Structure 1
Amino acid sequence: MTVSANSFLATKISFINAVADVCEATGADVSVIAEAIGLDDRIGPKFLRAGIGFGGGCLPKDIRAFMARAGELGVTEALGFLREVDNVNNRRRDHLVNMTRHALGGSFTSKRLAVLGAAFKPDSDDTRQSPALYIASKISGRGANVVVTDPAANHRVQAERPNLAVADDAYEAAKSADVVLLLTEWQEFKDLDPVRLREVVGTPHMIDGRNALDPARWRAAGWMYQSMGRP
């Protein structure tokens, strides 16, 4: 039962992320669509926020286990759609990497990036299959100077990804940054003062990988603000 429930949840998350791709192609706002979908009491509003996808020790493992079990039972086709659920989820991470590269003019070399978040979800230090760490490591591997901060998972970053620098808080991480990436929606990141943060960055450019911030507030403070599936 748990495997099937987690597979359904993963499907819901990947669905809204696929809708976000369509919204980016058309100029629509995925948050408006998600709100409308969530009003349908057959569906509900939970887990309909577009972003960089899911991680952790359960959802990725369970959708693959469910597919494997279907194969053992000779009904592979019944759950074949879960393969695309997994693919959609993985593509979201690379999509944000590409968004960031474009924001930097096409190259990560010698750029400084602040990554806000390392755990796969807020209020946890769990970094298993974390989208945030995947993105931070991939960008670092392409020549950028990446500084990560997470309220609970800094010690895991230091142990698991020694190539990444770690800062005590968002303001320290963002010093002289060319781009700031919000990748785990901790409340303290949502509560950041955009005016104060702008004073320490090199370029006030925020890419919100969790659609967790108020675009109007950040733009009013002088930031270039980008998010997932929103104009």
Structure 2
Amino acid sequence: MVKEYGILPEEAHYSCMVDLLGRAGKLEIALIFISNLPIKPTAPIWRPLFAACRCHSDLKMAEFISKQILELDPDDATVYVTLSNMYAEAGLQADAEEQRKLMKMKEISKEPGCSWIEVYNKIYRFFSQNKSHSEMPKVYEKLKQLMQQIEDIGHTDNEKEDRVLYHSERLAVGFGLISLPAKKQIRVFKNLRVCIDCHSFMKHISKIIDKDIVLRDNYRFHHFHHGSCSCGDYW
């Protein structure tokens, strides 16, 4: 960049490099890269490595990086939630609960998940457990039918069905399925990172109903096509 194009790297470039190393599973190299930066690492530079720790189940490094992020952004609820989930997945329930208690003690609240979809030039927004829209009974019924089809092929959610079945991104997709033409691609936006169960759900239904689904969360675009996602299950 510098030698051939005369462009000086900025925060976004460093963050992308960390993300690339994290995707490749080179977490230690990414950490060394951050440590040798000519600028003081910012939260946006640390966050891709934190996400990589989650994807590659490196709890020890995640604990270290979480401290770096919270020093820069003490109110980042995502750090507490992600670390709590990692502890839970590792069977460390006491540590997982401690992260939740810290959030409560510091009065840090997780931003409510919201997803939206455009149908015939109108934007429809959905929150988890949303029941305000007149079409919600049809949406719930459609999602239950899809969930049954997914279970018939041997897939189950990691979380309880009543918790994840009505996540905002599923409601938006369900609404799109009953409202848009059969051949119309479904495009949904979400303000938070899509959870692992919903990500798996989208892959399955893209194959079952043979329809492409594009979901843009706060990390990246996910293009679900015939049972797979463009992110390669890394996000």
Which structure would you say has the larger RCO, counting Cα contacts within 8 Å and 6 or more residues apart? Answer: 1
Q: TM-score range by the shorter chain?
A: 0.3 to 0.5
TM-score, length of structure 2 as denominator length: 0.32
The structure with the largest helix share of the pair is: 2
Computing the radius of gyration over CA atoms, which structure comes out larger, 1 or 2?
2
